[in-house]
Structure 1
Amino acid sequence: MTFNLHIHALDPHKSTLQLEGRLDAMTFGEFDREAEKVLQQMATGSTLVLDLSSLEYISSAGLRSIAKARKHMRARDGHTLLLNPQLQVRKVFDIVKAVPIKEIFQNMQELDDYLDQIQRRMLGEGEEVE
């Protein structure tokens, strides 16, 4: 299977990229090129969501690409959150500890609850989220 990247909800404050297929040594360049276009449009303090529900395989090259996107977002005081990873992909992240567990969400509701808590904290209305 090949790799496809779908850009959903492109917004300077919160954009979602859906990864499909295999992110490996043969396809990471495509991800890097397309993600860079989105990353350049992201505002300071924004959130990049990587929807991994259709990602079937990730190699070390794919991990590096995701780390590169995370580094770019951190440099802009932003966040990169992973959504819906398939079991085998989540296991890779768990093994290499490439992404903090608090940045991986099983579904959209879990992600929305997290984002709601952050916003409430910023307004002084809720408990602190780590």
Structure 2
Amino acid sequence: MSFQYELSQLEGAAAVRLSGRLDSATASGFEKPLQDLFTLPASRVLLDFSALDYISSAGLRVVLMAAKRAKQSQGALVLCSLQQQVRDVFEISGFLRILDVADDAAGALQQLRVSA
């Protein structure tokens, strides 16, 4: 399965729904569009992982770089709806301790409202 993402607006935040596999073959093509969401100061981005089946270290790197860019621009990045196998990768890598993660989109939007 390939990787796809769909961008929409949700309550003033950019919502990015990921699907498929975010790995070394697909991560580089997603990095710039994700980074570009933080061009404006105080940008708020929700990453919806509900349809993402797999993430590799290359995919983790893209997410981490986006989190750093969000912080630099006084923005916010919240991940939500991680499938168990994807959550396990974030847990093992230690990223759950440094990234904002919500159970679902509603929780992510709440966290983004608080950070605004």
* Category of TM-score, reference length = shorter chain: 0.7 to 0.9
- The range that moved more, 86-95 or 26-35, is 26-35
Which residue matches 1:125?
none
Q: Which runs of 4+ in 1 moved over 4 A?
A: none
Q: Structure 1 residues 33 and 10, CA, compared in 2 at 3 Å: closer, same or farther?
A: farther
5+ unaligned residues in a row in structure 2: which ranges? none
1:8 Cα deviation from its structure 2 partner:
1.1
Which residue matches 2:71?
74
Distance in 1 separating the partners of 2:8 and 2:42: 19
Count of aligned residue pairs for this structure pair: 116
1:94 pairs, out of 83, 91, 105, with: 91
Q: Structure 1 residues 101 and 65, CA, compared in 2 at 3 Å: closer, same or farther?
A: closer
Which residue matches 1:64?
61
Amino acid aligned to 2:24: A
Amino acid aligned to 1:63: L
SS in 2 for 1:61: helix
1:108 Cα deviation from its structure 2 partner:
2.2
Give the structure with the higher percent strand.
2
Instruction: Confirm or deny that 1:53 pairs with 2:53.
Output: no
Maintained 8 Å contact 1:23/1:55? yes
Distance in 2 separating the partners of 1:72 and 1:87: 26
SS in 1 for 2:87: helix
Q: Point out which structure has higher relative CO (alpha carbons under 8 A, 6+ apart).
A: 2
1:17 Cα deviation from its structure 2 partner:
0.9
Maintained 8 Å contact 1:10/1:38? no
| Bigger radius of gyration | 1
Distance in 2 separating the partners of 1:104 and 1:111: 7
Distance in 2 separating the partners of 1:39 and 1:74: 9
Amino acid aligned to 2:94: K
1:10 Cα deviation from its structure 2 partner:
7.5
Which residue matches 1:24?
23
5+ unaligned residues in a row in structure 1: which ranges? 123-130
Which residue matches 1:9?
9
SS in 2 for 1:94: helix
User: Normalised by the size of structure 2, how large is the TM-score?
Assistant: 0.86
